[in-house]
Structure 1
């Protein structure tokens, strides 16, 4: 795996909000956000917007719970936000997440996706020690990692970690 170089200069990794348990016969892919998840998605989207964290491009998994989380971000950021839904983010490897980010020309990109891949992508970008220090309990649902490229050291750095 190759860690991307700019662009983008800023990467946002947003883990989807809490999902409902699957109903009998329901596919994992089709699980919606639960009541807490809907509220948390709105809260994290509003917190991001209040901090000025506005991506140029939002790329979301097509899984229903990710779409629900991305919709909250879209509402908070405004309808002008460029949003794309990508099937490949569901059940993807960390390499796929990194390749999707690396293929973008936008200055800032937000991925809305799943764990454990979100956590693995953050670790790939900032390193194991920095990730463990910043997230000792892991990457919670409805949490946003803000990662910036530090040209002075030619590396990605975690700028902020926003939680509900």
Structure 2
């Protein structure tokens, strides 16, 4: 699915969004008050732990844009955000292809949507480990940190950390 480069992947689900307004598009939903708080807390924790990606890629949906901007401000003001339209309704395979195309970056953060982000994580670390880490499903503003071959006996991706509120 994804080769060993980049060696670290950050998979983040957008923070909690407000309900759709009558006649409005799902794509245009913005973060609600709780969502802003979630994104800020997770981004601040990521920065404190030194989780700073070389590249930040986000869906163009408004709630993802807002989440990405909060992350950028927390981890590194000069971090450029690449917005990709296809992530909005993209499949887990598309998410993986976009991440794999970021070479020679050594770390990539992708901010996207469920169920694709959850299914990608499951595909990288396995169903049992994903369910053990997130028994209630992928939380809003959840940030999974994955390293390639992080354990001596590992031949693939390992969930190194999970940040969520």
Query: TM-score higher than 0.5 here?
Result: yes
Instruction: Compute the RMSD of aligned alpha carbons.
Output: 1.0
Which range moves more in the overlay, 149-158 or 102-111? 149-158
Deviations 1:78-100 (A, max 9, x none): 22213100001001111110110
Structure 1 segments unaligned to the other structure (5+ residues): none
Aligned residue in 1 for 2:159 = 158
Report deviation, 1:24. 1.0
Q: Distance in 2 between matches of 1:6 and 1:121?
A: 15
Q: Distance in 2 between matches of 1:43 and 1:21?
A: 21
Report deviation, 1:7. 1.3
Q: Distance in 2 between matches of 1:145 and 1:38?
A: 19
Deviations 1:119-141 (A, max 9, x none): 10100110111111111111100
Deviations 1:30-59 (A, max 9, x none): 000001111111111101101111100000
Which range moves more in the overlay, 76-85 or 98-107? 76-85
Are 2:143 and 1:144 equivalent residues in the alignment?
A: yes
Q: Distance in 2 between matches of 1:23 and 1:163?
A: 27
Question: After the TM superposition, which residues 1-164 of structure 1 pair with which residues of structure 2 at under 5 Å, given as runs?
Answer: 3-105=1-103, 106-150=105-149, 152=152, 153-164=154-165
Structure 2 segments unaligned to the other structure (5+ residues): none
- Runs of 4+ in structure 1 deviating by more than 3 angstroms, as ranges, are none
Q: Distance in 2 between matches of 1:47 and 1:37?
A: 15
What is the TM-score with the length of structure 2 in the denominator?
0.95
What is the TM-score with the length of structure 1 in the denominator?
0.96
Q: Is the 8 A contact 2:52 2:76 kept in 1?
A: no
Q: Distance in 1 between matches of 2:83 and 2:77?
A: 15
